[in-house]
Amino acid sequence: MHESAIAQNLVDMAASSARAHGASRVTCVRCRVGTMRQLDEAMLRDAFELVAQGGPCANATLAVEQLPLRAACVHCGVQYGVEGWQWACPVCGRIGAVEGGGDELELVSIDAEVEP
């Protein structure tokens, strides 16, 4: 279950950033995850909640943006996201080629509170 390790890294990075900016509590952690990472979002949320307990990320919301693998049609030039492993171009129906993406895993931002 690599969701646990990823959740731990997200909590560690968010807590470190919060401390560096004088924040005492993290309220939201935003991340982007590519579909090729094959993460189970529900398991990631559960793991995040578990590893965040007792620290500055306790009770923080985890916002996950899923990013698809991108393809481009070599015939009509349309770029599109590959959903459900359907490679057909949405315009002409021909099979597209890998354009990139889908392997992202990044902490995008955090919202935090600073005590007066």
The C-alpha R_g of the chain, in whole angstroms, comes to 18
pTM value is: 0.85
**Identity of the amino acid at 104:** E
Q: Which CATH class is domain 2-68+101-113?
A: alpha beta
Look at residue 81 and tell me whether its pLDDT is greater than 70: yes
Closest residue by Cα to residue 33 from 3, 4, 76, 58: 3
* DSSP code string of 97-115: EEEE-S--EEEEEEEEE--
pLDDT of residue 35: 92
Report which of residues 114 and 73 the model is more confident about: 73
Residues 21-30 have a mean pLDDT of: 95
Would you state the pLDDT for residue 8? 97
Residue ranges per domain, the chain?
Answer: 2-68+101-113
Question: Which element (helix H / strand E) includes 25?
Answer: strand 25-34
Report the DSSP pairing between strands 79-82 and 61-67.
unpaired
Q: Is the pLDDT of residue 39 over 60?
A: yes
Report whether 58 contacts 75 (CB < 8 A).
Answer: no
At residue 69, what is the residue type?
Answer: L
Question: So what's the pLDDT on residue 1?
Answer: 57
Q: What percent of the chain clears pLDDT 70, i.e. is strictly above it?
A: 99
Q: Residues 35-52: what's their mean pLDDT? A: 95
